[in-house]
Amino acid sequence: MNVCIETFGCRLNKAESLDMEAEFAKRGWLRVKSHADADMIIVRGCSVTSKAERETAALVAHIREKYPVKRIVVTGCVRERRNEHWIKDLPPYSLDVVPASTARAYLKVQDGCSGKCTFCTVPRFRGKSSSVPYGDVLARAKTFISKGYTEIVVTGCNLSLYASEGKRLPDLLAALADIAPDGARIRLGSLEPSDCASETLDAMASRPNICRFIHIPVQTGSEQILAAMCRPYTVKSVDELLHKANRLMPMAGIGCDMISGFPGETELHHEASIAFLKRNSFSNIHAFPYSMRPGTQAASMHGMVDRETRKRRAHELSDIVIEMRTAFAMKFKGREAEVVIENPEHASGWTGEYFRLCVEGRENSYKRREKVRVTVTEADGERLVGRAK
């Protein structure tokens, strides 16, 4: 049987899609890229934002119209919206198995969230936090390594909540780094601000095969809006966390999520977010307008911000970090960098700091997943160019 998998959303959704692919491979099924060649089409959807949900629904509608006799299966976070007309008559599908085959491996270690953020629906459809047993995580990582992966991405809904067999995220990250052979590296997914996050930085800094990149879902630079969101930290504590990251790993890439136009957000609150970004060093940002999710507390809050203002503020936040990213990229000129090849045709992939890098003059010279050391010769906000050593 031929299976086509379409995936929307976060790294966790990608990890779960790879888990499905591995199970199909065990059964002798083949994953194909074309809907036309597939006997079954699986859409792993996302409903964290209304935009992601609309895109998922649009793809499902397109497939149903073009291939009315094919079997379509919908899974992922979007199953929470099972009463919507476009999904209610489609069967659910879920698997919890082991890995598959792309350039990097996604290692799911945690699911769910115990948070009570007023804008978020994740706890409703993912449930409370649960962790993959520590021993199972290490076994899965060894399976990835045996299959030749050179980068393992640790994923979860809220990695800071990982806890199993007396081990927390810093312990797990250190153990994964220790079992990775020479030439392999570990990358961390999003890291919620917490005491655990601070300890995780220590583990990252002490092991060179952990990618020097962290992505923090900050959401806002306003203490007042942060409280309205019911986020379990303060802006001051995030400042301290970022200061520690820069002190321990001066050349680390740092990304963040920011929500613009949360209910009650004024221009002064927006200015606080701008000030937060400017006083910290970010190389990446996912700034998106607030998306009202039915059933959340935020959906019934006073002070809704109009859509155009939300979009404008998101663009303003993004523009600030674009300038920072370009300045940060320039620091790599003349330095050594390491890239895991994802596109052999263009000899390109991602550095540990999460920059796209192309190895000049070496097109079609490497295999996918091969790790290459280069000297960076060109840099801008979008990519680096390097000469192989």
Q: Classify residue 145: in a domain, yes or no.
A: yes
Domain that holds residue 42: 2-81
Question: End of a domain among 31, 49, 81?
Answer: 81
- Is 219 a domain residue? no
Residue 94 within any structural domain of the chain = no
Helix axes 235-248, 267-279, angle to 10 degrees: 20
The answer to whether residue 189 sits within a structural domain is: yes
Residues ≥6 apart with Cβ < 8 Å to 301: 118, 228, 263, 264
Closest alpha carbon to 38 in 3, 72, 12: 3
Q: Give the per-residue pLDDT at 374.
A: 96
Residue 364 falls inside a structural domain: yes
Domain count, the chain: 4
Kindly state the average pLDDT of the residues 69-91: 56
Task: Please indicate, yes or no, whether residues 10 and 47 belong to a single structural domain of this protein.
Answer: yes
**Residues 126 and 201 grouped into a single domain:** yes
Among residues 331, 352, 380, the one where a domain terminates is 331
- What is the SS3 assignment for 215? strand
Spatial distance between the Cα atoms of 123 and 135, rounded to a whole number of angstroms: 25
Question: What average pLDDT does the segment 141-148 reach?
Answer: 90
Task: Answer whether residue 252 is part of any domain.
Answer: yes
Q: In what order do the strands lie in the sheet with 40-45?
A: 30-31, 2-7, 40-45, 71-76
Judge if 327 and 348 occupy the same domain. no
Task: Give the model's pLDDT for residue 160.
Answer: 94
Judged by average pLDDT, the poorest of 20-24, 40-44, 295-299 is: 20-24
Do both 191 and 126 map to the same domain?
Answer: yes
Q: What is the pLDDT of residues 230-259, one digit of tens each?
A: 999 999 999 999 999 999 999 999 999 999
In a domain, 242, yes or no: no
If asked whether residues 286 and 380 sit together in one domain, one would say: no
- Same-domain check for residues 367 and 311: no
Please indicate, yes or no, if residue 111 is contained in any of the structural domains.
yes
- CA dihedral angle for residue 260, residue 169, residue 131, residue 20, rounded to 10 degrees: 70
Same domain for 130 and 149, yes or no, is yes
Higher pLDDT: 204 or 291? It is 204
The overall average pLDDT reported for the chain is 86
Q: Is the domain of 122 the same as that of 189?
A: yes
What's the average model confidence in pLDDT over 73-92? 52
Domain match, 197 and 113 both: yes
User: Helix (H, G, I), strand (E, B), or coil: what is residue 146?
Assistant: helix
* Final residue belonging to a domain, choices 298, 315, 331: 331
Closest CA to 132 of 160, 158, 162, 90: 162
Domain check: are 326 and 341 in the same one?
no
Q: What is the pLDDT of residues 320-375, one digit of tens each?
A: 999 899 999 999 999 999 999 988 999 999 999 999 999 999 998 999 889 999 99
Residue-wise pLDDT for 121-139, tens only, equals 877 777 889 999 999 999 9
Shared domain for 324 and 340, answered yes or no, is no
**CATH code (residue 126):** 3.30.750.210
Return the pLDDT at 337: 95
Q: What is the mean pLDDT of residues 192-206?
A: 95
Specify the CATH number for the domain of residue 293.
3.30.750.200
374 and 281, same domain (yes or no): no
Q: Does 203 have pLDDT greater than 50?
A: yes
The pLDDT value recorded for residue 1 is 66
